Amino acid sequence: MNTEVTSLISEAGRVAGVRYRTAEGTTGEIRADLTVGCDGRWSVVRREAGLRPREFPVPIDTWWFRLPRDGDEKAELTPGMRDGHFAVVIPREGYFQIAYLAAKGLDGRLRAEGVEAFRDRIRKVLPQQADRVDAITSMDDVKHLDVRLNLLPRWHREGVLCIGDAAHAMSPIGGVGINLAVQDAVATARLLAGPLRRGRVSGRDLERIRRRRLLPTLVVQAIQRTMHRMVIRPVIEGRRNGPPRALVAVMNAIPVARRIPAYVIGVGLLPEHAPKWARRD
Ligand SMILES: Cc1cc2nc3c(=O)[nH]c(=O)nc-3n(C[C@H](O)[C@H](O)[C@H](O)COP(=O)(O)OP(=O)(O)OC[C@H]3O[C@@H](n4cnc5c(N)ncnc54)[C@H](O)[C@@H]3O)c2cc1C
C-alpha cells in the first residue's frame, strides 16, 4: 500500500518486474515471473509496456457530490432527466451520492459559473432534493470525473498482462466496471495458476485471458456506448426529457425484454467463479 509503480524492468525483451517508490520516497525493484497491470484507467504498467488502447468517443463527464439523507429516506433510482440536465441519485447510509452528467469539457464553465448556478442545475433536475442543495458549500464539494471508454487490442506482452480498467476503461453507466475488473482478476488467477506453478507463463497463456474476457467486455461497452448515444446525449443536449419512446414502448410491451440488459449488467456474460481448488472448506 502507498507504494507507486514508476516503471517496468525489461530484460532480454521481456518484462521482469517493476520499479517502485514508497510514500517516504524510498525506491526499489520487485522481480516477478509475471507482472499484472491492474492499475486503472491511467495505467503506468500499460504505458510502460507500450500497449495502446483504442479510444471510443464519450460525450459525457460526471460530477459527484453528496447531499444529506434523513434516516432511511427513499430516493428514486430512476435518473432525473429534465431540460438539458441529467442526474442519478444513489442512497447511501447517511447521505445521497449524486452524479450530475453533462457534456465533456464543461468542467471549466461549471466552476466559473460558481456554486449557486450549480445548485440551480440540481434544483431543476432533482426538484425533490431542492430543499437541501445548500449543503453543497462550494464547487470544491463537487468532484469532476473524466469519463473514458477504451479497449486494448492486445492485453499482454512477454511477462506482463493488463486487466480491469487498465485493459478496458469503463463508463459509469450501469455501474459494472468493478464487476468486470474483479471477474478479469478471477479469470487471470484461474487460468494462470497452473502455468505459474510450473514456472513458465507463455504468451499463449496470457492471450487466453483476453480471449475469455473479451466478449463480456465488448457487450457491456456496446451497451454503454448505446446508452451514451441514445439516452444521455439527447437529454444533455436538451432534445429529450427521457429515454426514446420506442424503447420504453418495447420494454413495456415485452416485459422479458427488460431482463436481457438487466442480466447482462447484473450477472454478466461468462460469469467467473473461483474454482474448487481455490476455495476454503
Ligand atoms: C465516474 C465513474 C463512476 C463509476 N461508477 C461505478 C459504479 O458505480 N460501479 C462500478 O462497478 N463501476 C463504476 N465505475 C467504473 C469503475 O470505477 C472501474 O471500472 C473499476 O474501478 C476498475 O477497477 P480496476 O481495479 O481495474 O481499477 P481501479 O479501481 O481504478 O484501481 C486501480 C488501482 O491501482 C492503483 N494505482 C494506479 N496507479 C498506480 C501505480 N503507478 N502504482 C501502484 N498503484 C497504482 C490506484 O491507486 C487504484 O487503487 C465508474 C467509473 C467512473 C469513471
Q: Which residues of the chain have pLDDT under 70?
A: none
Ligand 1 centroid to 164 CA: how many Å?
Answer: 8
The reply to whether CATH 2.60.40 applies to domain 60-145 is: no
Q: Where are the domains of the chain?
A: 3-55+150-266, 60-145
- pLDDT tens track for 49-103: 999 999 999 999 999 999 999 988 887 778 899 999 999 998 899 999 999 999 9
- The pLDDT score that the predictor gives to residue 267 is 87
40 lines ligand 1 (CB under 6 A): yes
* 9 burial level (CB within 10 Å; 0-12, 13-18, 19+): middle
The CATH number of 3-55+150-266 is 3.50.50.60
CB atoms within 10 A of CB 221: 20
The dihedral through the CA atoms of 24, 28, 32, 38 has a sign that is positive
Does the C-beta of 235 come closer than 6 Å to ligand 1?
no
* H or E stretch at 39: none
